[in-house]
Amino acid sequence: MFDKLTYKQKNYGLLVLFVVMLMVSYKRSFVLTLNALDELTSQESQKLAATSAQQSIEMLQISIAQLNQNIGRSDLEPDKVNQEILSTISAFSMNHAVSLQRLESTHVFQTVDFTIFSNLISVEGNFNGILSLIYYMENEFQYARLTNVNLYTQTDLTTKKTKLYAKLLFQHYRQIN
């Protein structure tokens, strides 16, 4: 049967057979090998991510512990913190021209991890007294953090004098176990 074919036809047949064998071998072994190589690289990257995940979890826990330390003492009751704020402001007002005007009730907000207690206090005084109170409460007061200060003036209609007021917002946190 192959005796009747010319060398040129035999070479074309061998070339077609070679291409078919190349396609079959690619489909049966090379594709599987390339897929296994891709899977191996993805598994190695997942392994590397898993080993670094433990380190990142530890770093996040350290950061959370530092934040807990920075946001104030969380072992106190809200009433105790409120009393500490009042006693500190009243002791401070004896030496400076600052007086307590209004104390609002404690606002409680609960998240997944924390319960946040907010105390809003209004004080009246001169600029230097209020500014020194703000500085003292921000740097020296350890029971809660001063998170917001709002300075405003109000004119008394009977005496026609302008008075300076400040609203101080204190927040402290309690971690939910």
The CATH number of whichever domain residue 157 belongs to comes to: 3.30.70.60
The whole-angstrom separation of Cα 100 and Cα 166 is 10
Cα distances from 48 to residues 43, 51, 57, 116, in angstroms, run: 9, 5, 14, 38
Verify that 64 and 100 share a domain, yes or no.
no
- Total count of domains within the chain: 2
Q: Could you tell me if 55 and 84 lie in one domain?
A: no
Report CA Rg, the chain: 38
Q: Would you give the DSSP letter of residue 77?
A: -
Please name which of 137, 138, 136, 128 lies closest in space to residue 98, comparing C-alpha atoms. 128
Tokens of 48: 């590397």
| Per-residue pLDDT tens over the stretch 96-125 | 889 989 988 889 998 887 788 899 999 999
What does the alpha-carbon distance between residue 127 and residue 172 come to, in Å, rounded to a whole number?
26
* pLDDT tens-digit series, residues 29-55: 888 888 889 999 999 999 888 888 888
The range of the structural domain enclosing residue 36 comes to 2-70
Q: pTM here?
A: 0.61
- 73, pLDDT greater than 60: no
Do 89 and 62 have their domain in common? no
The amino acid at 51? T
